[in-house]
Amino acid sequence: MTALVVGIDVGTSGVRAVAMDASFAIHGQAGVALADFGTDWRDPATWWRAVEAALTALFARVDAGQVRALAVDGTSGTMLPVDGAGEPLSGALMYSDKVEDAAILSAIAAEAPPESAAHGVTSGLAKLLLFQSRLRPARVLHQADWIAGRLARRFAVSDENNALKTGYDPVRRRWPDWIGRTGADMALLPQVLPPGTAIAAISAESAKRFGLAGDAVVVAGTTDGCASFLATGAARVGDAVTALGSSLTLKVLCETPLFAPQFGIYSHRIGDAWLAGGASNTGGKVLAHFFPVERIVELSGSMKPDRPTGLDYYPLIGPGERFPIADAGLPPRLEPRPADDALFLQAMLEGIAAIEARGYRQLADLGGPELRSVRSVGGGARNPAWTAIRVKKLGVPFLDALCEEAAAGTARLALQGARQAGLL
């Protein structure tokens, strides 16, 4: 009988669950759309119904009785106020929801160190202060905390990655005193554990609901972004993952943390290493502005990646860049435009690849490691012509991502917790 663990990814539009064994082999996976369970994605009941459905579908394919541990990742910065029994007191404030209360934002700006991720209108701390001013919560939890709490019936624990935007200090591994000086009631903050740490045994209710063994444990999870990185198999200092989606996102494992708020760079603690990265405003949304996906595929087949266009593009839809250049007024550079669409597309892909290379150099200049390898995820990773351009620009080995499912990265944390608990 093969022992398994389960990773649960509560993403921006759906929930996925992956069952994995101790060799990282995936035995089953299932996913559902949040929209199938409610129209209000701020309603935690919608999250839970989707989690129940994803787990039910997964356990129709694998034996729930073999599961030794479960871990959850959620969207970073999504916050929920609860009472002492873990019952929600209102809908959540989602990762992209903004707090526009000037007094709250000023209080954080006056007390938070410049390198803290608690700055900004979407920070977890700003949302906690808003909930505190309107309700009487016993706790304010992150999305992943609450889902894990439903599984263990323990609603007072978070992980170091989700807690970062709420002001947690990952270097000193504690909630810093300055949080209290913002007016926040620090009793509302959950206990924080390293990702991959066993929290508690599965509740009797959850064990019965899903057919799980009573000694299975719930493990501290992570954010959806960190989970996606872990899923690829990147595990050594200098290993990097480039996400080629609507935007260009770079992440690299470092020996020491990097904090550069001017570039939007913060560091998540991952085991004995640190995960740092930045996001550019370039990416697939710029390509989609000019060409539909079908046309991009067609044009890519006639490009000549070994023959550079010589056009020095900086592809943006409009002015403004955050990383690797921090300049709110940086203009796009997309001229001259050749008459040949394939040449124009190739020049844009070359420009994005140059931004990627510059981004990794910027991370190294800020104290990060020299780039050792790159794994790629997202739609652009499946474009061979673009890959050829990027390989030439970056000059390091391009390795296959083991998996692109964030839930698989969270399952790796569940494995760690199962081992810690002596269940594997």
User: Helices marked H in 250-326 — which ranges?
Assistant: 284-290, 293-300
Q: What are the backbone angles phi and psi of residue 422, rounded to the nearest 5°?
A: 75, 25
Annotated domain spans of the chain = 4-226+406-420, 234-399
Which residues, in sequence order, are CB contacts of 208 under 8 Å at separation 6+? none
pTM, to two decimals: 0.94
Q: How far apart are CA 52 and CA 99, in angstroms?
A: 31
What is the Rg, in whole angstroms, of the alpha carbon atoms belonging to the chain?
22
Residue 3, both tokens: 């022992």
Residue 38's pLDDT is 86
> CA nearest 80: which of 66, 64, 96, 94?
94
Torsional sign, CA 143, 145, 151, 154 = negative
Q: How far apart are CA 153 and CA 47, in angstroms?
A: 16
Beta strands 373-377 and 239-244 are parallel
Same fold, 4-226+406-420 and 234-399: yes
Question: What residue type is assigned to position 176 of the chain?
Answer: P
Q: How far apart are CA 191 and CA 128, in angstroms?
A: 15
For 324: left if phi > 0, alpha if psi spans -120 to 50, otherwise beta; the answer is alpha
Beta strands 67-74 and 191-193 are unpaired
Residue 39's pLDDT is 87
- Return the H-helix or E-strand segment holding 417: helix 406-420
Residue 25's pLDDT is 97
Pick 234-399's CATH classification: 3.30.590.10, 1.10.579.10, 3.30.420.40, 3.40.50.2000: 3.30.420.40
Q: Which CATH class is domain 4-226+406-420?
A: alpha beta
Q: Compute mean pLDDT per 10 residues along the chain, 424 residues long, and list them.
A: 95 95 97 93 96 98 98 96 98 96 98 95 97 97 98 97 97 98 98 98 97 97 96 97 94 96 93 94 96 96 95 97 95 97 98 98 96 95 96 97 96 97 93
Residue 413, both tokens: 């944390």
Which residues, in sequence order, are CB contacts of 393 under 8 Å at separation 6+? 350, 353, 354, 356, 357
- Return the H-helix or E-strand segment holding 44: helix 44-58
CB 404 within 8 A of CB 228: yes
DSSP state of 186: G
How many other C-beta atoms can be found within 10 angstroms of the C-beta atom of residue 262?
Answer: 9
